[in-house]
C-alpha cells in the first residue's frame, strides 16, 4: 500500500481520494503530485485534463511493470518496437528525463501522467538543471505520495524562486505581482508560450490559487523581512504592497489581530546613502540563494571572486557590479535553460504521444490559444507551429 497524503499548503480537493485511487492501478511510486489547471479553485469541469507527476526509483523497471498492467496507456509504436527500454531512452536521451502518457481515460476523467527518476527529480529541484520539475513545484500542487520528503527538499526550490523573482521585480510591488513573477519563471523561454499556450496562463494560475501561493511563500517573505530586505506597506485589494528596503522613507505596516481588526502604524526607516549599498548587497543576497547551475552560468558571464564562507570553506561568488546587470544576466540564463528543455521535451512528447494523441493535444492547445489570443493575427501561424510543441 502506498502512503497517500496531502498538506495544508497544497490544494485541498474534494475529490482527493478519487485522484489518489489512480495509484492503485499503477506500479509503486515514491512520489506523486497533481498539478496544472485542474487545481484551479474555479475548475470543476470533468473535461479538464488532470496532470500527474510520478517519481520512481527505476523508470525502466516501472514501465516494464506498467506495460503489463496498462499497455493501452502507451503509444503502440513504442510498445512494439522497444518497450520499456525505448520508452526510457527517449525520455532520457531526447527529453528531459520524463515520459508522459497523455489522454488516459480513467474514472470518467482524462488524465496525463509523467514518470521521472527520483534522482533526476531531486537534482532539478535543487539545481534547476532542466528547470522542468522545479518550475512545476514552484506553483501549488496536490501531493499524494511523498516517501522521500520531497516537500522538504522543495523548500530550497521555493526560496530560490522567490530570490529570482525579487531580483527581477521593481522596488515596489504587490503580492500578486510577486507570485506572478515566480509563476512566470518557468515560462521564460518556453517555446509553447510563443505558439500554443494560453497567453493569460500566469494570471489565471495566480488569481485562482493566491491563498495557496501565500501559504507556500509566507515563510520566505517573513525571512527576508527579518533580514531587513523587505517591508510590507498598506493592505489593499492587491493583497498588500511590498517594498524592498532602502527605496523609501516611510512604510505603513498592517498587523492583523483578527479578520475584523487591523492596526496600522508608521515606521521611519533609515534612508541616508543606503540606496546604492542596498542595491548591491540585496542583489548579492538574492543571487547567493539561486541554484548552483544558475550561479555558475552567471559567474561565467559576470566573473567570479573567491570568498571565505562562514563554514570556513572558500567558495566562488558571482561578481555583481549592478543590480540591473545581475537581474538581466539571471534572466538570460534561466531563459536559456527553459528554452532548451522545452524544445527537447516537445520532441520527446511528440514521439511518446503517438499520432492520434498528438493531434488531440494540438487541438486542445489551439482552443486555449484562440480563446486567449483571438484578436491577434498570429493565431494562424500558431496552428502550424504548434505541431512542434506536443506532449509537454
Q: Show Cβ contacts of residue 274 under 8 Å, excluding neighbours closer than 6 positions.
A: 246
Q: What is the DSSP letter of 46?
A: T
Q: Which residue has the higher pLDDT, 317 or 15?
A: 317
Residue written as grid cell 502507451: 74
Residue 48 structural domain: 10-370
Other Cβ atoms less than 10 A from the Cβ of 185: the count is: 25
The verdict on residue 377 lying in a domain is no
The verdict on residue 386 lying in a domain is no
What's the average model confidence in pLDDT over 182-188? 94
Q: Nearest-CA neighbor of 147 among 64, 60, 33, 66?
A: 33
| Residue 242 grid coordinates | 511590498
Phi then psi dihedrals of residue 35, to 5 deg: -140, 175
Q: pLDDT tens digit string along 197-244?
A: 566 889 889 988 999 999 999 999 999 988 888 888 755 444 567 777
Q: Please measure the distance between the N-terminal and C-terminal CA atoms of the chain and give it in whole angstroms.
A: 30
Q: Show Cβ contacts of residue 236 under 8 Å, excluding neighbours closer than 6 positions.
A: 174
User: According to the model, what pLDDT value does residue 109 have?
Assistant: 87
Q: What integer best gives the mean pLDDT of the chain?
A: 79
| Residue 112 grid coordinates | 496525463
Other Cβ atoms less than 10 A from the Cβ of 339: the count is: 15
| Residue 202 grid coordinates | 500566469
The verdict on residue 194 lying in a domain is yes
User: According to the model, what pLDDT value does residue 89 have?
Assistant: 96
User: Whole-angstrom Cα distance, residue 136 to residue 32?
Assistant: 13
Q: pLDDT tens digit string along 161-175?
A: 999 999 999 988 889
| Residue 94 grid coordinates | 531526447
User: Whole-angstrom Cα distance, residue 50 to residue 106?
Assistant: 10
User: Whole-angstrom Cα distance, residue 386 to residue 392?
Assistant: 11
The verdict on residue 56 lying in a domain is yes
Q: pLDDT tens digit string along 327-363?
A: 999 999 999 999 999 999 999 988 887 654 544 555 4
In residues, how long is the chain? 392
Q: Is the pLDDT of residue 43 over 60?
A: no
Q: What is the CA radius of gyration of the chain?
A: 22
User: According to the model, what pLDDT value does residue 306 have?
Assistant: 85
The verdict on residue 52 lying in a domain is yes
The predicted model scores a pTM of 0.80
The verdict on residue 341 lying in a domain is yes
The verdict on residue 98 lying in a domain is yes
User: According to the model, what pLDDT value does residue 191 have?
Assistant: 80
Q: Nearest-CA neighbor of 290 among 324, 317, 322?
A: 317
Highest mean pLDDT among 13-17, 61-65, 175-179, 234-238: 61-65
User: According to the model, what pLDDT value does residue 272 have?
Assistant: 26
The verdict on residue 322 lying in a domain is yes
142-146, strands of its sheet edge to edge: 98-106, 109-117, 50-56, 31-35, 142-146
User: According to the model, what pLDDT value does residue 219 have?
Assistant: 94
Other Cβ atoms less than 10 A from the Cβ of 38: the count is: 22
Helix 150-168, helix 118-127: angle, nearest 10: 30
Q: Is the pLDDT of residue 374 over 70?
A: no
DSSP string, 70-101: HGGGS-HHHHHHTHHHHHHHIIIIISSSEEEE
Number of domains in the chain: 1
User: Whole-angstrom Cα distance, residue 105 to residue 187?
Assistant: 28
| Residue 384 grid coordinates | 502550424
User: According to the model, what pLDDT value does residue 198 have?
Assistant: 65
Amino acid at each position: 500500500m502506498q502512503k497517500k497524503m496531502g498538506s495544508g499548503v497544497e490544494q485541498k480537493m474534494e475529490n482527493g481520494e478519487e485522484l489518489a485511487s489512480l495509484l492503485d492501478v499503477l506500479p509503486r511510486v515514491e512520489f506523486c503530485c497533481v498539478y496544472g489547471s485542474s487545481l484551479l479553485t474555479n475548475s470543476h469541469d470533468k473535461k479538464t485534463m488532470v496532470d500527474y507527476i510520478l517519481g520512481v526509483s527505476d523508470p525502466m523497471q516501472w514501465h516494464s511493470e506498467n506495460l503489463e498492467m496498462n499497455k493501452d496507456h502507451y503509444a503502440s509504436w513504442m510498445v512494439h518496437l522497444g518497450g520499456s527500454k525505448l520508452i526510457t531512452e527517449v525520455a532520457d536521451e531526447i527529453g528531459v528525463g520524463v515520459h508522459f502518457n497523455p489522454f488516459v481515460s480513467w474514472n470518467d476523467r482524462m488524465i496525463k501522467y509523467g514518470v521521472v527518476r527520483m534522482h533526476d527529480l531531486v537534482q532539478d529541484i535543487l539545481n534547476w538543471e532542466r528547470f522542468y520539475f522545479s518550475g512545476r513545484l514552484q506553483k501549488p500542487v496536490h501531493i499524494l505520495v511523498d516517501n522521500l520528503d520531497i516537500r522538504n527538499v522543495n523548500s530550497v526550490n521555493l526560496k530560490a524562486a522567490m530570490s529570482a523573482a525579487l531580483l527581477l521585480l521593481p522596488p515596489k510591488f504587490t503580492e500578486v505581482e510577486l507570485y506572478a513573477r515566480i509563476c512566470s519563471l518557468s515560462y521564460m523561454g518556453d517555446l509553447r508560450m510563443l505558439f500554443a499556450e494560453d497567453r493569460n496562463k500566469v494570471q489565471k494560475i495566480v488569481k485562482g490559487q493566491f491563498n495557496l501561493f501565500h501559504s507556500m511563500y509566507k515563510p520566505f517573505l517573513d525571512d527576508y523581512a527579518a533580514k531587513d530586505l523587505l517591508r510590507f506597506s498598506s493592505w489593499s485589494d492587491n493583497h498588500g504592497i511590498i517594498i524592498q528596503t532602502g527605496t523609501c522613507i516611510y512604510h505603513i505596516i498592517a498587523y492583523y489581530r483578527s479578520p475584523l481588526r487591523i492596526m496600522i502604524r508608521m515606521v521611519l526607516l533609515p534612508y541616508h546613502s543606503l540606496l546604492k549599498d542596498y542595491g548591491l548587497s540585496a542583489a548579492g543576497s538574492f543571487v547567493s540563494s539561486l541554484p548552483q547551475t544558475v550561479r555558475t552560468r552567471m559567474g561565467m558571464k559576470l566573473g567570479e571572486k573567491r570568498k571565505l564562507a562562514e563554514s570556513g570553506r572558500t567558495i566562488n561568488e558571482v561578481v555583481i557590479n549592478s543590480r540591473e546587470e545581475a537581474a538581466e544576466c539571471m534572466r538570460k540564463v534561466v531563459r536559456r535553460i527553459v528554452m532548451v528543455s522545452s524544445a527537447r521535451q516537445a520532441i520527446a512528447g511528440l514521439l511518446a504521444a503517438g499520432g492520434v494523441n498528438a493531434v488531440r493535444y494540438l487541438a486542445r492547445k489551439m482552443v486555449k490559444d484562440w480563446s486567449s489570443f483571438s484578436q491577434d493575427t498570429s493565431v494562424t501561424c500558431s496552428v502550424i507551429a504548434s505541431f512542434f510543441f506536443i506532449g509537454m
